[in-house]
Structure 1
Amino acid sequence: MSKIFSFGFWNSIARVILRNRLTIIAIIIGITIFLASQWQNMRFSYTEANLLPDDDKFNMVYNDFLDKFGEEGNLIVIAVNDSTLFTPEKFTAWNTLTKKLSSYSEVDHVISLGNLKKLQKFNKPKRFEMVPLINEKKWDSAQVAAYQDELFNKLPFYENLVYSSNSNTVQTALYINEDIVNSKERKTFVIEELKPLIEKFEKDNNINVYVSGMPYIRTLNSQNIIDEIGLFIGGALLVTSLIFFFFFRSFRATLISMITVLIGVMWAFGVIGLLHYEITVLTALIPPLIIVIGIPNCIFLINKYQQEIKNHGNQAKSLQRVISKVGNATLLTNVTTASGFATFILTDSKLLKEFGIVASINIIAIFILSLVIIPVIYSYMRLPKDKHLKHLNKKWIGGFVDWIENMVRHRRITIYISSVILLALSIIGIYSIKISGSLLEDMPQNAGFFKDIEFFEEEFNGVMPLEILIDTKRPKGALKLSTLKKMESLETAITEVPELSAPLSVVRLAKYSKQAYYNGNPKYYQLPTSQEQNFIAPYLKGISSEGGNLLNSYVDSTGRYARMTTFMKDIGTDEMERIEENLWPQINKIFPPERFEISMTGKALIFQKGTTYLVKNLVVSLSLAIVLIAMLMAWMFRSFRMILISLIPNLLPLLVTAGMMGFLGVPIKPSTILVFSIAFGISVDDTIHFLAKYRQELKANDWKIKRSVYAALKETGVSMFYTSIVLFFGFSVFMISSFGGTVALGGLVSATLLFAMLSNLLLLPSLLLSLEKSIANKETLKEPAMQIIPDEEEDDINITDK
């Protein structure tokens, strides 16, 4: 493997690239066209991110629940809190809206004011039937008032299902067809049919309508992701190009860099399509990431080219040195960056695994593109003019490097004390970090649909279903009176939890059957006694298909399994764990485990469990990244002491960032989990550049430590500053996102990389100087396994296309 990193190898690579320019251009065009053809396979995710492995017990319980009761996240709710709704004109308009919604093939069924049914008793023969609560007619004020009175005062069955117990809010429940709830057709229905219909109703009737439910939230959220991909790419290109131009003051260099990273973006989309992966909130970040990571490659290569031109003015020799001298170091830095992302491949989470695969592949791809495109394009251009080289002598950059050198030379104690203080504060902050498993926390909080979520949380205690599956372990066990009483006790316990809504279950239907038996008297809305159950049983046998469907919603066909649905507010993992901790003893007391098997599930709970799972894997993936990069450093420098010294300035920024998260109240969640592996993989690049130059200077300066450290600092300080600034502002682009998690990711990675730059420029050389006697000798720093920065020898290459 060391042969790959040898100077002779890179000279051969330079020769191949520069003598086969047209062939290489044709290959890049061909690959780009092929990958562009794969864009058609890209598809956007229409389901929540499942962060758990397929064989996880919570996933298995959830899938078992879906097998028995079907899709649980197919409910859209449409609500109105306006007293004028119960006037003849607006009441009629609301019922017309219900009929229109019912007519769509995407809608399975609708429960609304206009089509409510009540359970009615008939004696010849004995039976219950679901009969319409209202008939088609022209309404007057008295009739509407009578309907309102009956709904709110005589039909407790519909409480928190059609009307709120907290106010006069009424809602329509729209059940989306299960076949399209996780498909593109759902998006088409919500965006092109439902939203325009609701907006027209609001405008025509001057009533504010609130819309929510998981299919609706997921659709608008995924649309925001789609909209932001273009925003991120445009923002990353604009910011990096402006910074690049500010540094180089060259339109030509800026344009070449933009062409390079744009091809990289096209390849990134192509790889996603080729692998048939979905565009998720994570994979949507990869194209702008490629821009942000690709620009530093361009900086290193173009900066080296211009330095060579300034030194001797020979274009062929300059291009050859760009490849042979910078190629080694740039490859290594890209490999370490890709390694930070690649550690996600080793997790069992499909979401993170796909992100890690695509990101690591494309980071290596952007390295290859940069190494090939920049020398090839420059080979066809005139030599840079003097004005293009002025940036190499910028005084303010020199002033920055002089300040760094002065700090390292005279203020090392200050650097160490500052580092220790930062470390202590960070440890304090780390203890304040919370874990968030909220499905809604990262969503755009200024969006209209998010404000609607808050309305439903206030009126109905949430929109995210939490399902409780009850296995009675015997056929028809769910319909026994003893089981119903146990379920009623559990419902009471759940209702006492402020974050959860009153549950929906077969208990409601059992209570309603008793009310119907007593001719609709609401005071009899309660579970029947054993004796009453005997009287009611003959009426239940003849229940109509509508009542049967209602029963099947909460009891499976065998009668063994019962379902209890409650809706939860947008709470985090800590709160949910507290609720579970308090509920389970009550559940086990009500339903003895030896006779019943109870499970909690639902999309929101699965997401929270997935977040906890990812946090545990964060330590594993970050540890793998550290070990992997430490092994790479060990192979490079063949020195255990150098590994320790190189890791300290890279781990400190991670701890500082974790401390910041604690103090700023930024929780650990799927989006912020990425920060540490990404930042570590990128920040270690500066360490590699510095130590590689430092070792070269040691050999050149006869192992004189101080001279070598300061020489390496001057040589690498400018490049480290350039690339860190580009990365800082590049990742800051993510802060324009409307997604809280993406904002946090951008801000935290930017801050970490800024700390990492200062740590590598101040703390790393200080450690080298303070520990010079123990590390700076020929025994400790043996001949490295690879020549990261080659010596000044090279073969001249004639640029002639074959």
Structure 2
Amino acid sequence: MIDLENDVIGQDARTRVVSQLETVMNKVNWEWHEAGIPVLRTRYIQFMNQERAVFLPISFLVAMSVLLFIFRQIKSILIPLIAISTTLIWVAGIMAHFEISINVVSYLTFNLLMIIGASNAIHLLMKYHEGLSLGLNQRDSLERVIQKIGGALFLTSFTTAVGFCSLGFTNIKVTQQFGLLVGFGVILMFILTIIIMPIILNYIRPPDNEHIDRLIRGGQFLAADRLNTWNQKHPRSIITISGILFIVALFGLFKIDYNASVLEDLKPGNPLYDDLQYVEQKMGGTLPLEVIIDTKSENGSLQPQFLSKILNYKEMILKTPEINTAVTPGDYLMLANEEWGDGIRQLPNSLNDALSFTVDFDRVQALLNEDYSKTRISCRISDLPFDRGMQIREDILLAGHKLFGENIDINVTGSTLLALSTGRHLVKNLTTSFFIAFIIIFLSIVFLFRSFRLSLLAILPNIIPLMIAGGLMGYLGIKLRPSTAMTFSIALGIAVDNTIHFLARFRQEYKLSGDYEKAVSETLVTTGKAIISTGVILSLGFFVLYFSEFVPNHEFGLLATIIIIAAVCGSLILLPVLILQIKPTLRFKTGITNILID
């Protein structure tokens, strides 16, 4: 058992101590197992840095590989890379300026911005090649890109930023910083992409006709054409299947378990997880639980009668199965009495004896306040879920009030209960932030498309993917913890991008033809290709996190991937069918909305 000094605060200080302990352990050929909150915090950050070093390059390779597969040109990789890298450098500089550290949440910043930036680049490059295929020259094609897709890219960046910035409504600093930072990074990515990429494309040789024909009219994206045909032939089947998925997902939502524990962030097989489990099984709990008793009188904690009651209270607490050890000032005072007093291991007989033993006894001092009016029972508890932790807290308080009466104040605290309460509180805040993001995004779509019915159609294909992910959480036993709750706000902002791109192009096509069926078909075989491409790059970028050793990141990657894939299907299958069935009225007016959409 090692106690750290009070000045060992922060990751750097803890890392130095842990490194020194590792040096000692490496010199002795024993079987060593680490446990305790300082070790847990230190190893968390170390594992996080290791994963960042692995997943950031993988995300980069995934993004570049998809771009190369789609465009088959090195310059189509290098140009987006310049815009993305510039944004990441800016974001890194902002983090340094505002002293935002890399933590268990913010280390995902660069991965997310990279795949979001790559998806923006795909839409821009697709529109650029489409203009060239229509016979436009290089400059006119780039102007068409800004006019036709600049507004849609702004809208999608705005909704994505809203999803991230909604995390700013939480009361947890690291989550607030992460949400606001990535939200700002998304808008910055849009600005730099829409400026840098057209400028570079204007000064390099345009792609040859062979590349343009392959990309626009080739067989690489037959899926978009087949979806168009399938949608026209099976509209009722699509609506029926969507309804069944909605109902099944709804039942799954009621099965979601939000009773998470502290150590569930680690997977079995992780060295830290295995060490903590070993120590719990062999030596009892490793997580701290503190019971503070306030006598409201100076030296009240050292009165012999009170010390005796504290020992009785300790025995009552130890009847809790999850609590394995508990230490009171009386335990140390009995040792002191045996060593320095009458030679018997028992409590001091008087207040003066207790005071004399306490003055230079650091372990006793650590369990008392300055005037000895408050005492602390320091316990070690096993890993447990929130509900059980709150039940134990209530049981301890009830037993204490029965023993001491109502005149004594008792507080049950410690980093274990704090972590459990913070997690539950954060889930509630993230749920609120999701609804705020949903309302903002919906109102934005209503304002920009000027059609309430069309906006309702736009939201529905994005609600079902979220419900599918939530239903799978219930059926698969994935608990609603801060990381999984955060997924829904983030994924909503990203998933709705596909719908906005689809509706923006549909509105343009309908304005030209005045025919719903023709406009939907043209949208599917043009913008549908870009939506499929961005869906691939986003889902693969998130799926990388599936292999994380941290359960929150693993679940975040899995759920985000499911939502993105389901959202692509919703935008390209369900949304076209709903438009053709309902035929919402479209309004075309001059002004800011006309500029943004058209």
Residue among 246, 264, 279 paired with 1:423: 246
Q: Quote the residue 1:66 is aligned against.
A: none
- Distance in 1 (alpha carbons) for counterparts of 2:68 and 2:527: 20
Kept in 2, the 8 Å contact 1:444–1:738? The answer is: yes
What is the match of residue 195 of structure 1?
22
Distance in structure 1 (CA, Å) of the matches to 2:225 and 2:498: 18
Q: Which residue of 2 aligns with 1:322?
A: 145
1:184-209 residue CA offsets vs partner (Å, 9 max, x unmatched): 23212323x2212211212xxxx212
The residue that corresponds to 1:543 in the other structure is 357
- Preserved contact between residue 333 and residue 357 of structure 2 (Cα < 8 Å): no
Asked if residue 723 in structure 1 is aligned to residue 551 in structure 2, the reply is: no
Kept in 2: contact 1:478–1:561 (CA 8 A)? yes
Please say if 1:606 is aligned against 2:429.
no
Structure 2 residue aligned with 1:572, among 371, 385, 389? Answer: 385
Matched, 1:733 2:544: yes
After TM superposition, give the deviation of residue 762 of structure 1 in Å.
Answer: 1.5
The answer to whether the 8 A contact 1:435-1:669 is kept is: yes
SS where residue 598 of structure 1 aligns?
A: strand
Query: 2:219 aligned with 1:391, yes or no?
Result: no
SS in 2 for 1:208: coil
Mapping 1:367-446, distance limit 5 Å: 367-389=190-212, 390-398=214-222, 400-443=223-266, 445-446=268-269
Equivalent in the alignment of 2:133: 310
Q: CA deviation at 1:572?
A: 2.2
Structure whose alpha-carbon radius of gyration is higher = 1
The reply on whether 1:297 has 2:108 as its aligned counterpart is: no
Shift of 1:730: 0.8
Say which is worse superposed, 580-589 or 461-470, in terms of deviation: 580-589
**Cα distance in structure 1, aligned partners of 2:388 and 2:411:** 19
- Contact 2:225/2:524 (CA < 8 Å) preserved in 1? no
Q: Distance in 2 between matches of 1:334 and 1:377?
A: 21
CA distance in 2 between counterparts of 1:418 and 1:736 reads 31
Residue type of the partner of 1:496?
A: K
On the 8 A contact 2:442/2:459 being kept in 1, the answer is: yes
Q: 1:415 to 1:487 in 2, by over 3 A?
A: farther
Does the CA-based 8 Å contact 2:431-2:485 persist in structure 1?
no
Counterparts of 1:491 and 1:545, CA distance in 2: 23
Residues 289 and 544 of structure 1, relative CA distance in 2, 3 Å threshold:
closer
Shift of 1:639: 2.2
Q: Does 1:787 align with 2:594?
A: yes
Q: Structure 1 residues 708, 183: CA separation in 2 closer, same or farther (over 3 Å shift)?
A: closer
Cα distance 1:284–1:305, how it changes in 2: closer, same or farther (>3 A)? same
CA distance in 1, matches of 2:44, 2:432: 30
Q: How far does residue 591 in structure 1 lie from its aligned partner after superposition?
A: 3.3
Write out aligned runs for 1:492-507 (5 A): 492-507=315-330
How far the C-alpha of 1:443 sits from its partner, in A, is: 3.4
Please give the residue correspondences for 1:237-252 in structure 2 after superposition, counting only pairs within 5 Å: 237-252=60-75
Is it true that 1:224 corresponds to 2:52 in the alignment? no
Say yes or no: does 1:184 pair with 2:12. Answer: yes
Q: Is the 8 A contact 1:315 1:379 kept in 2?
A: yes
Which residue of 552, 561, 572 maps to 2:374? 561
Aligned with 2:441 (options 629, 653, 657): 629
**Amino acid paired to 2:399:** Q
Cα-to-partner distance string for 1:161-214 (whole Å, 9 max, x where unaligned): xxxxxxxxxxxx2222221332523212323x2212211212xxxx21222222
- Over 3 Å counting, the alpha-carbon distance change for 1:307 and 1:695 in structure 2 is closer
- The code of the aligned residue for 1:378 comes to L
Name the SS of the counterpart of 1:604 in structure 2.
Answer: helix
The answer on 1:755 being equivalent to 2:579 is: no
CA separation of 1:325/1:588 partners in 2, compared to 1, >3 Å: closer, same or farther? Answer: same
Partner letter of residue 574 of structure 1? D
Deviation for aligned residue 1:479:
1.7
1:542 and 1:467 map into 2 onto residues whose CA distance is 25
* Gap change, CA 1:417 and 1:589, over 3 Å in 2: farther
Distance 1:507 1:340 in 2: 53
How far 1:311 moved relative to its partner?
2.4
> What is the deviation of 1:336?
0.6
Deviation at 1:755, TM superposition (A): 0.6
Tell me, yes or no, if the aligned pair for 2:397 and 2:410 is still in contact at 8 Å.
no
Partner Cα separation in structure 2 for residue 387 and residue 730 of structure 1? 29
What CA deviation, in whole Å up to 9, does each residue of 1:466-524 have, x standing for no partner? 11111111112212233333323332232122222221111312443565589766xxx
d(CA) in 2 for partners of 1:600 and 1:674?
A: 29
Which range moves more in the overlay, 360-369 or 482-491? 482-491
SS in 1 for 2:263: coil
Q: 1:503 to 1:784 in 2, by over 3 A?
A: farther
Identity of aligned residues (%): 29
Sort the Cα spacing of 1:247 and 1:436 in 2 relative to 1 into closer, same or farther, 3 A.
Answer: farther
Q: Is the 8 A contact 2:169 2:429 kept in 1?
A: no
Write the distance in 2 (CA, Å) between the matches of 1:366 and 1:446: 38
Corresponding residue number in structure 2 for 1:676: 488
Instruction: Assess if the C-alpha contact under 8 Å between 2:504 and 2:597 holds in 1.
Output: no
Rounded to whole Å, the distance in 2 between the matches of 1:397 and 1:243 is: 14
Rounded to whole Å, the distance in 2 between the matches of 1:544 and 1:508 is: 12
Q: 1:539 to 1:607 in 2, by over 3 A?
A: closer
Select the residue among 349, 367, 375 that pairs with 1:533.
349
8 A Cα contact 1:339 1:360, kept in partner: yes
1:533 alignment partner, SS class: coil
Specify every segment of 5 or more residues in structure 2 that has no aligned partner in the other structure, as ranges. none
Matched to 2:585, the amino acid is A
C-alpha displacement of 1:782: 6.9
1:653 aligns with 2:465: yes
Aligned CA distance change for structure 1 residues 490 and 770 (closer, same or farther; 3 Å):
farther
CA distance in 1, matches of 2:358, 2:171: 47
Contact 1:435 1:572 in 2 (8 A): no
TM (norm. structure 2) is 0.94
Contact 1:237 1:258 in 2 (8 A): no
Relative to structure 1, the CA distance from residue 619 to residue 340 in structure 2 (aligned partners, 3 Å threshold; closer, same or farther) is: same
Q: How many residues align?
A: 597
CA deviation digits over 1:644-676, x for unaligned, max 9? 222111111111111111111111222222100
